[in-house]
Structure 1
Amino acid sequence: MIKKNLQLLISALVVVGAALFYGASPGNLLPFLFDFDTQNTDLRNILRAVMGLYLAFSGFWIYALYRPAYWRTATLSNALFMGGLGFGRLISFILDGYSEVYFPGMLLEFGMMAWALFNLKKA
């Protein structure tokens, strides 16, 4: 595997896991871990829409591993995706307060964004 592809591969694997966590069975897993009810149809719809979005981006990143013509676009979309998650968490920390659970995730998201931007600059 080409070294610059490692960032996309890791991102895709992690984001597929997150997608399945949010959307595969929101009524069973999320209430157990986060102590909130997901019996509402509208909330389940939102969670499954997030799952679809995550799977679509992950699929594109994996596709770009095999189609080099799409590598730059996939890497840029990955930087935007990871940066968007990280900045969203940062805004939540500012407005809602610190979360020990999600702070490491925010750092990793910013790290993946930086890695993607670094790879783009090198290419």
Structure 2
Amino acid sequence: ALGFNSDRSEYEMKNIKKHFLIFAFVAVIPIALAYGISPDWFASTFLGIDMLDTNIAHILRAIMCLYLALGLFWLYSAFNQAYRNPALLTVVLFTGGLVVGRLISYFVDGQPQPILILYIGLEFVLAPIAYWIYRLPE
């Protein structure tokens, strides 16, 4: 009826967790690499910081590796059903934790650079979507 293919729809619903985890991997990897491959470039290009302190470069590279580790876990979990729900919970915690921290900073420290405002929006949207996908049946 109306050309609706229930088999295809059922297949897509079963794979939404897998596809979302692949999306999360693809989304976080470029951000991670931008932070850590050249912290000076990232800071000057996106944050308006001309001279990056060694300690901040250290933090950005550590964040890069944290993001890479989570991204690789999400990719691994996309292809290993036993890890999909735990991985989805880490996406919820990752994006939710980041958005809370960014909002605290926004209200305590003031408005950051536009790219960081973009991150707030993306994380604010992705956290509940990840939670919704987590709650879907297998």
Please say whether Structure 1 and Structure 2 have the same fold, judged by a TM-score greater than 0.5. Answer: yes
Gap runs ≥5 in structure 1: none
Deviations 1:31-58 (A, max 9, x none): 23322122x3322211110000000000
Q: Which has the larger radius of gyration?
A: 2
Gap runs ≥5 in structure 2: 1-11
> Residue 19 in 1 paired to residue 32 in 2?
yes
* Distance in 1, Cα, partners of 2:117 & 2:76: 30
1:35–1:103: structure 2 CA closer, same or farther, 3 Å change rule? Answer: closer
> Residue 107 in 1 paired to residue 121 in 2?
yes
* Distance in 2, Cα, partners of 1:13 & 1:119: 17
User: TM-score, structure 1 length as denominator?
Assistant: 0.88
2:21 is matched with 8
Q: How many residues align?
A: 122
Alignment of 1:43-82 (within 5 A): 43-82=56-95
1:86 is matched with 99
Q: Between the two proteins, what is the percent identity of the paired residues? A: 34
* Distance in 1, Cα, partners of 2:112 & 2:64: 23
2:133 is matched with 119
* Distance in 2, Cα, partners of 1:104 & 1:5: 25
Q: Which runs of 4+ in 1 moved over 3 A?
A: none
User: TM-score, structure 2 length as denominator?
Assistant: 0.80
When structure 1 is superposed on structure 2, of 54-63 and 29-38 the one drifting more is 29-38
* Distance in 1, Cα, partners of 2:32 & 2:56: 15
Give the superposition deviation at 1:11: 1.6
1:47–1:86: structure 2 CA closer, same or farther, 3 Å change rule? Answer: same
Deviations 1:90-112 (A, max 9, x none): 11111122346133321210211
